[in-house]
Chains A and B, each alone.
Chain A
Amino acid sequence: MDIFSGLLDGFAIALTATNLLFCLLGAIIGTAIGVLPGLGPAATIALLLPITYVIGTPVTAIIMMAGIFYGAMYGGSTTSILLNLPGEAASVVTCIDGYQMAKKGRAGAALGIAAIGSFVAGTLAVVGLTMFAPPLAEFALDFGPPEYFALTTLGLLLAVTLSGGSIIKGLIILLFGLILAMVGLDPISGKIRFTFGSIGLQGGFDFVTLAMGVFGLGEILYNLESTMKTEIVTTKLGKVFPTLGDWADSRWAICRGSVIGFFVGIIPGGGAVISSLASYAIEKKYSQHPEEFGQGAIQGVAGPESANNAASSSSFIPLLTLGIPGNAAIAMIFAALMIQGITPGPFLVAEHPDVFWGVIASMYVGNVMLLVLNLPLVGLWVQMLRVPYGILAPVIVLFTTIGVYSTQNQVFDIYAMLFFAAVGYLMRKLDFDPAPLPLAFVLGPLVERSLRQSLLLSGGDPAIFVSRPISGILMVIFVLLIVGQTIFFLRRKWKRRCCVPVPPETEKSL
């Protein structure tokens, strides 16, 4: 069956009343859990799985679950922008400029551009998924341990460049993140590290607890210090929707983000995170005004938000064509397919064309639904900032607490989150920029594992990193970036020293 007729059949399935309804339901639930901090798509799909047994055909169930998954990507930016509270690793980068925009009264523009970018990226990625799924799947398989090592070290380097303020402090936070990620079981040696005898720590920290604690609750604790009744928004709310100027500023960021997200998202593992990081770094480099980044540049929201949405759609490629689940939520959809009696993999198109094409077609429909659903919501979310902080703060605590609890149903995770809240608060007090922390935390284990796996494979010969084409190219990019960055840094320093009197080092805070 060729792509065109397959897709037409898919639309015939996706546009039936039942499937439209469940697609909408999935989109609504997805948006909701994306907005709710902590509660992620994987946990939600697991919780709602029993309901899907009674839905009837497997296609309908999978359409709804897919809707929950990519819907969560739309909602995920909301709390990042409004409350500095990233719902998942891929929207950490959105916090940097998104929250600054909100503080300046431009939350509506940020939310609007995030929704539009998500729509464009989501749709482009589904087009890519329709046209090129099988060949790209093979590309994903080419990523072995050496390639992962090259890719993730590149990601770490990008994470360092993100940090505003002092370089020393940025590096310290990065290392702190790496060490936090080492807590628990080391899968390569089977040894248990940094647990101090605690069973709870053996499994390591969870990303959600870290992000909620350091960003969301840390911010609350810091705000509580203030003697005035704290307001998040210092100026008035301003225009709710993005203007034409905003669109002109961010349309290329959206396109670049979509392309990066689509390709990097195919790679199982850190795809979505690295794509959002890469997008942010590229926007900062491309920009005429790189100094605006970190102060509320709209491209810093549009690019990464597009990238993570494109990545979420393209992460269906390894699932549908190879039977490889690339992340926790996709693993849950994988499990749901298996329970419905369908084995995902290369035979899916031939054995269950209704599922394959039905789900893909529903993703076109779902993205339109999400845009229509999310744009009007922007006005509503912005109003949320008018809620007095005395009410908003405890409610955020309630949401994060149950959200974190629901990830593994354990009170231990709540304590871990509170530990990170204290860490985040102290970091604010000492003027550390927390942005590299969660990124190092996510990428660190990947770097360490892939390094040691590669050396096991090659028998300790480091040539493995440069002798293979993909990792070789990535390594070259890595070296070029470091050299370029160093030259740039030294030249700036030298210029400053000879031409301008040394200005007193002012502290930059995020």
Chain B
Amino acid sequence: MKLREQLTALLTSLAGVWIMSYAWIVLKLGSIHVPDAGFLPFLCGAALAVLGVAWLLALHWTKRKEAPAEKRLWHRPLSSLLLMIAYGWAMETLGYISSTLVFVIAWQQIVEKEKWAKTLSIAVLSTLAMYALFVHLLKVPIPSEFFLR
């Protein structure tokens, strides 16, 4: 935990420095009387750089007990995030209804490892519900189906 925090603090400082230089060179600061687009970004960057250092120092000085790490799965958040990205992409290419159906099936299979029967019923029911609610009742304009274009 401590190493991870130190890394983040360092990154924060570096990001702050980068923002400062971007604001200085690209956006231009203007003057105190008439600040330009880079004025506030520069201040924010400077503050971030300082805070990152302050955090590092604080980490250096405080000693604390590491809580025993709970066993956690890193692959489930990752796979679900990847699925969601694929879903966003599929929505435009495949169409809303088909991609929603496929997404829920994939989620149940990959993230939850459900049985097929349950997977399919959840997928169909939720897709139908989404269609009824958003398209039928609320008239949200969704991307149309690929094979209907």
Interface contact B41-A47, CB-CB below 8 Å: no
Task: Given A44-B138, A172-B55, A395-B126, answer yes or no on A224-B48 (Cβ-Cβ < 8 Å).
Answer: no
Complex: A226 Cα to B70 Cα, angstroms: 9
Contact of A227 among B67, B73, B108, B126 (CB under 8 A): B73
Task: Given A182-B41, A448-B40, answer yes or no on A402-B62 (Cβ-Cβ < 8 Å).
Answer: no
Interface contact A171-B77, CB-CB below 8 Å: no
Task: Given A221-B77, A225-B72, A456-B34, answer yes or no on A397-B4 (Cβ-Cβ < 8 Å).
Answer: no
Interface contact A47-B138, CB-CB below 8 Å: yes
Complex: A222 Cα to B140 Cα, angstroms: 30
Complex: A394 Cα to B112 Cα, angstroms: 10
Complex: A461 Cα to B63 Cα, angstroms: 48
Set of chain A residues within 8 Å of B114, measured between Cβ atoms: 390
Contact of B37 among A179, A186, A394, A430 (CB under 8 A): A186
Set of chain B residues within 8 Å of A460, measured between Cβ atoms: 31-34
Task: Given A175-B47, A394-B107, answer yes or no on A189-B76 (Cβ-Cβ < 8 Å).
Answer: no
Interface contact A224-B8, CB-CB below 8 Å: no
Complex: A435 Cα to B36 Cα, angstroms: 29
Using C-beta atoms within 8 Å of the partner chain, give the interface range for chain B. 35 or more
Q: Give the distance to chain A from B34, nearest Cβ to Cβ, in Å.
A: 6
Task: Given A179-B44, A430-B5, answer yes or no on A398-B126 (Cβ-Cβ < 8 Å).
Answer: yes
Q: Give the distance to chain B from A208, nearest Cβ to Cβ, in Å.
A: 14
Which chain B residues numbered 85 to 101 have a C-beta less than 8 Å away from chain A? Answer: 85, 87-89, 91-92, 96, 100
Q: Is the C-beta of B14 less than 8 angstroms from some C-beta in chain A?
A: no
Complex: A451 Cα to B41 Cα, angstroms: 13
| Contact flags B39-58 to A (C-beta < 8 A → 1, else 0) | 11100110110011011001
Complex: A422 Cα to B138 Cα, angstroms: 29
Interface contact A178-B44, CB-CB below 8 Å: yes
Which chain A residues numbered 156 to 190 have a C-beta less than 8 Å away from chain B? Answer: 166, 168-169, 171-172, 175-176, 178-179, 182, 186, 188-189
Q: Is the C-beta of A504 less than 8 angstroms from some C-beta in chain B?
A: yes
Q: Is the C-beta of B139 less than 8 angstroms from some C-beta in chain A?
A: yes
Complex: A409 Cα to B81 Cα, angstroms: 21
Set of chain B residues within 8 Å of A430, measured between Cβ atoms: 4-5, 8
Task: Given A191-B37, A394-B104, answer yes or no on A422-B81 (Cβ-Cβ < 8 Å).
Answer: yes
Q: Give the distance to chain B from A336, nearest Cβ to Cβ, in Å.
A: 16
Set of chain A residues within 8 Å of B62, measured between Cβ atoms: 504-505
Which chain A residues numbered 223 to 255 have a C-beta less than 8 Å away from chain B? Answer: 224-227
Complex: A222 Cα to B91 Cα, angstroms: 25
Task: Given A47-B139, A505-B64, answer yes or no on A418-B85 (Cβ-Cβ < 8 Å).
Answer: yes
Using C-beta atoms within 8 Å of the partner chain, give the interface range for chain A. 35 or more
Interface contact B130-A398, CB-CB below 8 Å: yes
Interface contact A391-B122, CB-CB below 8 Å: yes
Set of chain B residues within 8 Å of A425, measured between Cβ atoms: 77, 81
Interface contact B37-A188, CB-CB below 8 Å: yes
Q: Give the distance to chain A from B46, nearest Cβ to Cβ, in Å.
A: 10
Q: Is the C-beta of A136 less than 8 angstroms from some C-beta in chain B?
A: no
Complex: A409 Cα to B74 Cα, angstroms: 32
Closest to A192 in B: B37
Which chain A residues numbered 484 to 510 have a C-beta less than 8 Å away from chain B? Answer: 504-507
Interface contact B100-A226, CB-CB below 8 Å: no
Interface contact A406-B134, CB-CB below 8 Å: yes
Given A227-B73, A398-B126, A402-B140: 8 more A-B contacts, CB < 8 Å: A168-B51, A171-B47, A175-B48, A224-B77, A224-B80, A225-B72, A451-B40, A455-B34
Report B's interface with A, CB cutoff 8 A.
Answer: 4-5, 8, 12, 19, 22, 27, 31-37, 39-41, 44-45, 47-48, 51-52, 54-55, 58, 62-65, 67, 71-74, 76-77, 80-81, 84-85, 87-89, 91-92, 96, 100, 103-104, 107-108, 111-112, 114, 122, 126, 130, 133-134, 138-143
8 smallest CB-CB distances across A and B, nearest first, come from A460-B33, A414-B88, A221-B77, A224-B76, A390-B112, A189-B37, A191-B37, A225-B72
Pick 22 A–B contacts, CB within 8 A, sort by A: A168-B54, A171-B51, A176-B48, A182-B40, A193-B41, A225-B72, A225-B77, A227-B72, A390-B111, A393-B111, A394-B107, A397-B80, A397-B84, A397-B103, A402-B130, A411-B143, A418-B81, A421-B84, A425-B81, A429-B4, A455-B34, A504-B65
